[in-house]
Amino acid sequence: MKLTKTAILLATAILTLVCTTTAFAGQTDEPVSKETKKEAKKMEKEGWKPLPLAKPIAEQLQRSADLRKERLSDHLPRYFIATGAAKAGSIDIAKTLATERAKQELAAQMNAEVNLLTDYYLNNMQGGETASNSSSTIETRVKTIQRVGKTTTLMEICRDAEGGNIEVKVSIALDKEAILKDQ
């Protein structure tokens, strides 16, 4: 009886693996544009290379460009995108510092959008039901933006710097739509 249960579990696992593999086999990433390839070559000539386990620079740049193009229904950018750079004696320390700087830039962008939305509301307050609807929309948007969700890493590149240090550049994105869904 144990052998039969084990055989069924093993067969299920293999079948799941085969189905998953064939499902992903037909999927390909967006092709990298010529401009992105040129930019990647330029960066590689400057000494930049992807961090270990990261995708090639051209793919990272293409993903960043694709996310920058995405818009919400109100035509505002869907993502906050921020970049941080740091130099340190090891990749790990430089990556941590660069990520923290990117998060600080992300917070500054979020603060700027909150201020912009607040100013827009205050300047366009009309009274009555319209103002009430605008007020609740702006209030929801501000509360949403203030909650930082999980960021997506778009780019992780490094190069050798002076003094035996390593320079790391990290770009992260925060999806505004995902924050709205988490409410």
Q: pLDDT tens digit string along 38-88?
A: 999 999 999 999 999 999 999 999 999 999 999 988 888 899 999 999 999
Task: Say which amino acid occupies 82.
Answer: A
Flag whether the pTM goes above 0.75: no
CA-closest candidate to residue 158, choices 46, 80, 73, 76: 46
CA-closest candidate to residue 145, choices 176, 168, 173, 115: 176
Task: Say which amino acid occupies 120.
Answer: Y
In whole angstroms, what is the distance from residue 46 CA to residue 49 CA? 9
Three-state DSSP class for 15? Answer: helix
pLDDT tens digits for range 126-179: 555 555 555 555 565 555 555 556 889 999 999 999 999 999 999 999 988 877
Three-state DSSP class for 43? Answer: helix
Q: Exposed e or buried b for every residue in 117-133, given b needs 16+ CB within 10 A? A: beeebeeeeeeeeeeee
